[in-house]
Chain A
Amino acid sequence: MADSQTAPLEPITAADGTPLKKKLAQALFRSRVRAVSLVVPLFAFVMASFVIPIFALMWQGVYNDRFSSHMPNLTEQLTMWDGLTEPNEIMYGALVADLTTARANRTIGRVATRVNQEYPGTRSLFTSTARKAKKLKPPFKESVIKTNKKWDNIEVWQAMKITSQDLTPGFYATALDGRYTVDQGFVRQDENRQIYVKLFWRTMLISATVMGLCLLLGYPVAYLLATLPLRTSNLLMIMVLLPFWTSLLVRTTAWIAILQSQGVINDLMVYIGITADDARFSLIYNMTGTIIAMTHILLPFMILPLYSVMKTIPPSYMRAARSLGATPTMAFIKVYMPQTIPGIGAGGLLVFILAIGYYITPALVGGQDGQLISNMIAYHMQKSLNWSLAAALGGILLAGVLVLYWAYDKVIGIDNMKLG
């Protein structure tokens, strides 16, 4: 490429006369552009389908402008109101004006739903008063209360004040079994309404149990895979991978067939005589079912990283330990196990993070006490349509995972992780 038979002081030039240095920089730049442009589609895809939606939804957990965007006049009044004194005539006037426009624009339903989330039992109060709002005459305070005496209740106004704030801690308060109030800030919810905190703990507990069981069951399998002769280990590998390739739904429903009270295991137990016919084990539609099915489904995620790490451990280390006088158990614990820690860490983290967000399996086999927080998030996304609360619950879950990830990094070190 270079034709550099020129005088030594002149810059070296390429065939077309441009300095070689510039030419080289151009060539490097081109190859870099080519490399980046190969990554661009994936990057754009991840941004558009993953990063942006996640942040947009997380934002909904703290930001909800349903009320303020449809009730502008009242929002202005509520911002000035201290939340404790009796609502005045101007506020009632703003309420009537906004209800009238919201009714005309058909947005009253959204406003009513939003306030109803904060103060249940008020949805019809808004929709029915909005129907009459056009005909109401001043003094508005009197005429509004005449349509429904709930408007005289200061708690309704306090709930409106809270919903009129676009940036609100209310959904996170609900997600932590509390309520955000004007006068007292965060208040714990009644005992019989507390649910989310318990579900978070249960999710953590079940995920940790599943992770522990996967490690317990997967470690020996991975060890066999790594140490057996190729012929046998290949067969074993296929047995690990086959269920891995089978649809999640098929495996979950298979567990239903096996575990249900008229299922394979219970029938066998009754036949052998371990249990009476009328005292069959309840192995499914409870926490046991969730743990069994999830352990089975997540097992390959533990075995594969363990296997890939064990495969790289030279067998001569164990032999060396034995020849230096260690018992087989000693050699295994002192020499072999420490070398598999990157695999344990990778498999454990993978299984735990997958388990924490598991949805289909607990939904199918969880029954009452096997439901995880993800089922509640799905409920608020699909049924109650309280997306902000779902976002808050998801945000807490994400924060929990990040904290665990950070703790893992501190204890074992993320560089130490090996996935394959």
Chain B
Amino acid sequence: MFNAKNAEGQSFEMVWDGQIYDLDLWVIPKGSKNKEAALDFVAFSTATEQLAAQASWISYGPARASSEARIGTFHSDDSINMAVHMPTAAGNFKNALQNDFEFWADNADQLNERFNAWLSK
């Protein structure tokens, strides 16, 4: 969406109100041979500086609040300030809801059924 709006100039507007966000995670398999190197990488990639740098490539919000202040401009276009396009930007994050796996594990079937019943009305 960010790309369509800013790089391709489509007339889209993001509505951040009520956004549902999800966290991405790193996992190290049990018994991994390179556990130390993996831990180093996780520490590196989730550091303030790296998360802020990631934001200049794609409009994914950094998981650290400390990254927010360091977000720069879009990698190919200096005129775009990425900070305002972050889902985690102060103004965008007011009414955000975290995706709850446990809720969906418990209720997905039932809600899908109700949704289908509602659709077929």
Contact = CB atoms under 8 A, between A and B. Distances in A.
A and B, one complex?
yes
Contact of A384 (B102, B105, B106, B112): B112
B109 to A, nearest CB: 5
Given A117-B109, A123-B106, A384-B112, A193 B117 contact: yes
Contact of B113 (A127, A195, A198): A195
Contact of A120 (B106, B116, B120): B106
Given A195-B113, A384-B112, A124 B106 contact: yes
Given A117-B109, A120-B109, A123-B106, A379 B117 contact: no
Contacts, number: 43
B114 interface: yes
A198 B119 CA distance: 12
A123 B113 CA distance: 16
Nearest to B105: A123
Contacts of B113: 193, 195, 384
Contact of A386 (B102, B107, B109, B116): B109
A101 interface: no
Interface residues of B, number: 14
Contacts of B112: 383-384
A369 B119 CA distance: 8
Contacts of A120: 106-107, 109-110
B120 A121 contact: no
B75 to A, nearest CB: 38
Interface residues of A, number: 23
B26 interface: no
Contacts of B105: 123-124, 127
A376 B106 contact: no
B12 interface: no
Nearest to A384: B109
Contacts of B118: 192
Interface centre among B109, B112, B114 (most CB of A within 10 A): B109
A63 B112 CA distance: 24
Interface string B73-109: 0000000000000000000000000000010011101
A199 to B, nearest CB: 7
Interface in A153-174: none
Contacts of A192: 114, 117-118
B107 A121 contact: yes
Nearest to B120: A195
Interface in A188-210: 192-195, 198-199
A176 B100 CA distance: 31
Interface in A87-145: 116-117, 120-125, 127
A195 B116 contact: yes
Given A117-B109, A124-B102, A124-B106, A368 B114 contact: no
A371 interface: yes
A376 B114 contact: no
B120 A369 contact: yes
A412 to B, nearest CB: 33
A198 B106 contact: no
A198 to B, nearest CB: 7
Interface centre among A116, A198, A379, A383 (most CB of B within 10 A): A116
Interface centre among A117, A124, A369, A376 (most CB of B within 10 A): A124
Nearest to B109: A384
Contacts of B120: 195, 198-199, 368-369, 371
Nearest to A191: B117
A192 B106 CA distance: 20
Nearest to B118: A192
A74 B105 CA distance: 23
Contacts of B107: 120-121
A391 B116 CA distance: 18
B20 to A, nearest CB: 19
Interface centre among B105, B114, B117, B119 (most CB of A within 10 A): B117
Contacts of A117: 109
B114 A193 contact: yes
Contacts of A195: 113, 116-117, 120
A58 B99 CA distance: 37
Contacts of A199: 120
B116 to A, nearest CB: 6
Interface in A358-393: 368-369, 371, 376, 379, 383-384, 386
A376 B114 CA distance: 13
Given A120-B107, A193-B113, 5 more contacts: A116-B109, A124-B106, A127-B105, A194-B117, A376-B116
Interface of A: 116-117, 120-125, 127, 192-195, 198-199, 368-369, 371, 376, 379, 383-384, 386
The 9 A-B pairs with the shortest beta carbon distances in the complex, nearest first, are A120-B110, A195-B117, A124-B102, A121-B106, A123-B106, A123-B105, A368-B119, A124-B106, A384-B109
5 contacts: A121-B107, A123-B105, A125-B106, A369-B120, A371-B120
